[in-house]
Structure 1
Amino acid sequence: MDNIIKGWFSEINEFWPGQALSIELDGPVLYHEKSDFQDILIFKSKAFGNVLVLDGAIQITEKDEIAYQEQIAHIPLFTHPNPKKVLVVGGGDGGVIREVAKHDCVEEIHLCEIDQKVIEASKKFLPKIAVGFNDPRVRVHIEDGAEFVKKYKNEFDVVITDSSDPSGPASQLFGEEYFKVVKEALTDNGVLITQAECIWLHVDLIVSMKKFISKIFPSVTYATSQIPTYPNGSLGFFLATKNGTVFPTEPVREVTAEFQAKLNYYTPKMHNAAFTLPAFAERILNF
Structure 2
Amino acid sequence: MADDGLLTGYEKEDAELWLWDDLPELHMEVGYRINRLLHFERSKYQEISVAETAAFGRMLVLDGVPQVTEKDGYIYNEMISHIGLLTHPAPQHVAMIGGGDCGPSREAVKYPGIKQIDVVEIDPRVTTVSRMWFNPNQTLEDDPRITISHEDGALWIQKQQERIDVLLVDRSDPYGPAAVLYSRAFYKHIYTSLSYDGVAVFQSGSPFFDMKGLKRTRERLRALFPIVRTYLTTIPSFPGGIWSFTVASKRHDPLTASFDKLPLETRYINASIAKASFELPENIRAALR
TM-score normalised by the chain length of structure 1: 0.92
Residue correspondence of structure 1 range 118-129 to structure 2 within 5 A:
118-127=126-135
Alignment-derived partner of residue 50 in structure 1: 58
Per-residue displacement from partner, 1:81-119 (whole Å, max 9, x unpaired)? 101000100010010100111111111000111111111
The CA distance in 1 between the partners of 2:287 and 2:138, in whole Å, is 37
* 4+ long deviations beyond 3 Å: 128-134
**Of 3, 11, 21, the match for 2:21:** 11
Alignment-derived partner of residue 270 in structure 1: 273
Distance 1:24 1:93, change over 3 A: same
The CA distance in 1 between the partners of 2:69 and 2:93, in whole Å, is 28
Residue correspondence of structure 1 range 177-196 to structure 2 within 5 A:
177-196=185-204
Kindly indicate whether residue 164 of structure 2 is the aligned counterpart of residue 156 of structure 1.
Answer: yes
- Structure 2: runs of 5 or more not aligned: 1-6
Per-residue displacement from partner, 1:234-263 (whole Å, max 9, x unpaired)? 2111111113x4x2235426426xx32x11
Q: Is the 8 A contact 2:20 2:29 kept in 1?
A: no
User: Comparing 34-43 with 220-229, which one deviates more in the overlay?
Assistant: 34-43
Per-residue displacement from partner, 1:39-70 (whole Å, max 9, x unpaired)? 21211123212101112221100100111000
Q: Which amino acid aligns with 1:143?
A: E
Q: Is the 8 A contact 2:9 2:65 kept in 1?
A: no
Say how many residue pairs are matched. Answer: 279
The CA distance in 2 between the partners of 1:168 and 1:69, in whole Å, is 23
Q: Is the 8 A contact 1:95 1:130 kept in 2?
A: no
Distance 1:36 1:130, change over 3 A: farther
TM-score normalised by the chain length of structure 2: 0.91
Residue correspondence of structure 1 range 29-48 to structure 2 within 5 A:
29-48=37-56
- Structure 1: runs of 5 or more not aligned: none
Distance 1:11 1:130, change over 3 A: farther
Alignment-derived partner of residue 23 in structure 1: 32
Per-residue displacement from partner, 1:1-28 (whole Å, max 9, x unpaired)? 24222222222233432231x222222x
Percentage identity across aligned positions? 30
Alignment-derived partner of residue 258 in structure 2: 252
Q: Residue 231 of structure 1: SS of its match in structure 2?
A: coil
The CA distance in 1 between the partners of 2:202 and 2:254, in whole Å, is 16
The CA distance in 2 between the partners of 1:209 and 1:10, in whole Å, is 27
Alignment-derived partner of residue 245 in structure 2: 237
The CA distance in 2 between the partners of 1:2 and 1:145, in whole Å, is 25
Distance 1:53 1:134, change over 3 A: farther
The CA distance in 1 between the partners of 2:71 and 2:256, in whole Å, is 26
